[in-house]
């Protein structure tokens, strides 16, 4: 694809309220979470992952899933999603069915990472999801499946794209209308990303699944986050996940950078003339507010430097 054919607009899912808040050492007050989520929704973000139905004793940071869902505004045009670890999680989530729109099911493409993360083999995870996803579809929920370590595993190294593709197809056939590919510890490089999405798109089209939305979830662990976004754009990918303030992600080793910052992504796309529908100053304000609540400087570049547009 020639660079003059970049997508005209891009969809962004804000994952900070789940992915970011979950990775904070301190539990953020429910009221602060609700306020930040409402602030994010007011920026024009149309997709926000707000919480997760995980066991509260395992992840106390998200133990207030019900309260958060009950408390947030539900402006029209904004789709709220929750992360679902397993069938039990879905059953709990369905008790708040009217308070969200989408579910995010996940697993890792590498055995070691999946084992460490959810204590299951990859086959156990995907089989479980194949039973659970149809229940969510039946409940009228839009389903996304996310495959972690799609571009490499910090324990196993290279992850064969064939393994990732197989999982992606099984997720789609189970009912996911969107499949996300996570570069969980920032191992992807731009050339790999080009080849990866070229193959995924071809295979999905060949399998009659060309309508499935393909989403890229990159981390900035090695500073290549936005370079990988650029590569994905060049391959026609127009759906991304990011986190305001650069919150969350999977910092391996500790101290390393995680998710790409939503405001860095929105800034780059905006400067390139690619529409996101998101108000950049409003997004920066939300990150500044999170920074104040957390009491430490966040990693986002544009939060520190301000957008280019302020110099015009």
Q: Which residues are catalytic?
A: 250
By C-beta, is 79 or 112 nearer to a copy of itself? 112
DSSP states along 288-300: HHHHHHHTS----
Contact between 62 and 18 under an 8 Å Cβ cutoff? The reply is yes
224, 239, 259, 276: which one binds a copy of itself (CB under 8 A): 224
- List beta partners, residue 182: 217
The verdict on 119 binding a copy of itself (CB under 8 A) reads no
Exposure string for 252-265, b = 16+ CB within 10 A, e = fewer = beeebbbbbbbbbb
Contact between 280 and 267 under an 8 Å Cβ cutoff? The reply is yes
Site string for a copy of itself, 150-169 (x = CB under 8 A): --xxxxxxx-----------
By C-beta, is 116 or 304 nearer to a copy of itself? 304
- Specify the stretch interacting with a copy of itself by CB under 8 A; choose among 47-55, 96-104, 271-279, 287-295: 271-279
Contact between 144 and 215 under an 8 Å Cβ cutoff? The reply is yes
List the end-to-end C-alpha distance of the chain, in Å, as a whole number.
31
The verdict on 129 binding a copy of itself (CB under 8 A) reads no
CB of 213 to a copy of itself, least distance (A): 23
Q: Return the residue matching tokens 């602060």.
A: 32
By C-beta, is 70 or 309 nearer to a copy of itself? 309
The verdict on 223 binding a copy of itself (CB under 8 A) reads yes
CB of 126 to a copy of itself, least distance (A): 23
The verdict on 89 binding a copy of itself (CB under 8 A) reads no
The verdict on 273 binding a copy of itself (CB under 8 A) reads yes
Q: Which residues within the stretch 188-217 sit at the binding site for a copy of itself (CB under 8 A)?
A: 189-192, 194
CB of 115 to a copy of itself, least distance (A): 17
The verdict on 290 binding a copy of itself (CB under 8 A) reads no
Is the bond leading into 253 cis (omega within 30 degrees of zero)? Answer: yes
The number of angstroms, rounded, from the C-alpha of 56 to the middle of its chain's C-alpha atoms is 21
The verdict on 272 binding a copy of itself (CB under 8 A) reads yes
Contact between 19 and 52 under an 8 Å Cβ cutoff? The reply is no
- Distances in Å between the Cα of 4 and the Cα atoms of 197, 204, 233, 308 are 19, 25, 11, 22
Two tokens, residue 102: 């989408």
Contact between 266 and 44 under an 8 Å Cβ cutoff? The reply is no
Site string for a copy of itself, 228-257 (x = CB under 8 A): -xxx--x-----------------xx-xxx
Judged by the rule CB under 8 A, the positions of this chain that interact with a copy of itself are 3, 6, 152-158, 185-187, 189-192, 194, 220-227, 229-231, 234, 252-253, 255-257, 260-261, 264, 267-268, 271-273, 300-302, 304-308, 311-312
């Amino acid at each position: 694809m020639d660079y003059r054919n970049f997508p005209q607009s891009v969809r962004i899912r804000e994952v900070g309220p789940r992915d970011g808040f979950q990775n904070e050492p301190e539990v953020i007050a429910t009221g602060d979470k609700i306020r930040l989520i409402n602030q994010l929704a007011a920026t024009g973000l149309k997709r926000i992952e707000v919480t997760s139905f995980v066991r509260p004793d395992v992840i106390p940071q998200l133990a207030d899933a019900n309260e958060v869902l009950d408390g947030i505004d539900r402006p029209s045009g904004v789709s709220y999603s929750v992360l679902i670890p397993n069938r039990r999680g879905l059953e709990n989530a369905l008790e708040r069915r009217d308070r969200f729109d989408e579910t995010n099911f996940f697993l890792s493409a590498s055995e070691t990472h999946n084992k460490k993360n959810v204590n299951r083999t990859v086959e156990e995870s995907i089989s479980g999801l194949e039973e659970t996803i149809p229940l969510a579809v039946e409940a009228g929920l839009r389903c996304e499946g996310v495959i972690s370590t799609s571009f490499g595993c910090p324990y196993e190294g290279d992850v064969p794209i064939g393994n990732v593709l197989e999982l992606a197809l099984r997720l789609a056939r189970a009912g996911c209308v969107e499949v996300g590919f996570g570069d969980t510890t920032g191992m992807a490089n731009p050339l790999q990303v080009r080849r990866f999405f070229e193959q995924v798109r071809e295979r999905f089209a060949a399998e009659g699944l060309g309508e499935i939305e393909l989403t890229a979830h990159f981390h900035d662990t090695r500073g290549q986050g936005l370079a990988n976004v650029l590569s994905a754009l060049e391959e026609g990918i127009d759906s991304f996940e990011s986190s305001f303030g650069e919150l969350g992600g999977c910092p391996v080793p500790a101290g390393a950078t995680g998710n790409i910052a939503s405001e860095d992504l929105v800034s780059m796309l905006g400067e390139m003339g690619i529409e996101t529908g998101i108000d950049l100053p409003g997004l920066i304000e939300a990150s500044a507010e999170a920074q104040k609540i957390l009491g430490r400087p966040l990693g986002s570049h544009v939060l520190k430097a301000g957008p280019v547009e302020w110099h015009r």
